[in-house]
Amino acid sequence: MPLLVSQGHHVAAPDLPGMGADSMGAPGITLESWGRFAADLLGRQPTKSILVGHSLGGMVISQAAEYAPAQITALVYLTALLPRNGLSALEITRGEDVPDMGARMALRPTADGESIIAAPEDARAYLYGETPAEWAERAVSRLVPQPLAPLQNTAALTETNFGSVPRVYIECLRDRILPVLLQRTMHAASPCAAVLSIDTDHSPFYAAPEALAAHLLQIAARFD
């Protein structure tokens, strides 16, 4: 964020309901509610925004674009799920249909069955493998159970709304959560205005912040 702010951009990185520091419980959280949360934030900005979604956040920005396309300059999928209408996150990442999924990070359900969470050692290896140790520990300490419903909910997208917003995909070439072949399968099925790459893992905002900022500044200059 400081790298973008230093170039004159206003940057917001909100916690989704039920994630990060937000205390809302998992019951009632859906892909639709996350999409409307993001769309509401967009509606409160003084100008149109570039919306960046990382990982599962790709589902969220897609749904937000369906609700508020006029508020978005471009959608940026940062090694993220890029859905087509009617597909869920679980369907997109289903191993038998996806090349090179390989070993997966183990996720265990919470006692109430409403959320899932990874063991800290798995999260460190799969999410932050190339992140400096002190940042990896900080990141792992902030992990909370993730509501399960948004993984199961299908995207409800139309060409009129979601399809009218330009898309850019940023590949992460050594991602162990969303392998690059899956990333390329997704953006081949939903063509983007540009595809960029970073030779790093699933969390480039920690592992390669300068390279990520350079890509985002390039995107901003193109779509401003």
Instruction: Specify the DSSP class assigned to residue 47.
Output: S
H or E element in which residue 39 lies: helix 31-43
pLDDT above 90 as % of the chain: 79
Q: How far apart are CA 56 and CA 73, in angstroms?
A: 20
Pairing of strands 115-118, 146-147: antiparallel
**Structural domains of the chain, with CATH:** 2-104+149-223 (3.40.50.1820)
Q: Is 216 helix (H, G, I), strand (E, B) or coil?
A: helix
* Over residues 24-39, mean pLDDT: 92
Determine phi and psi for 27, rounding to 5 degrees.
-55, 130
* Over residues 37-62, mean pLDDT: 97
pTM over 0.85: yes
Q: For residue 60, what are the CA distances in angstroms to 22, 30, 67, 125? A: 16, 10, 11, 25
pLDDT number for residue 112? 87
Comparing CA positions, the residue from 27, 206, 24 lying closest to residue 128 is 206
pLDDT at 22 over 50: yes
Tokens found for residue 60: 């969220």
Identify residue 62 by its one-letter amino acid code.
S
- Using pLDDT thresholds of 50, 70 and 90, give the confidence band for residue 99: low
pLDDT number for residue 189? 96
Tokens 């990382």 belong to residue: 54
Beta carbons of 153 and 88 less than 8 angstroms apart: yes
Q: In the chain, where do the E strands start and end?
A: 49-54, 72-78, 107-109, 115-118, 146-147, 167-172, 194-198
pLDDT number for residue 96? 45
**For 156-197, what is each residue's pLDDT tens digit?**
999 999 999 999 999 999 999 999 999 999 999 999 999 999
**For 121-150, what is each residue's pLDDT tens digit?**
999 999 999 999 999 999 999 888 999 999
Q: In 72-145, where do the E strands start and end?
A: 72-78, 107-109, 115-118
Q: Is 113 helix (H, G, I), strand (E, B) or coil?
A: coil
**For 55-80, what is each residue's pLDDT tens digit?**
999 999 999 999 999 999 999 999 99
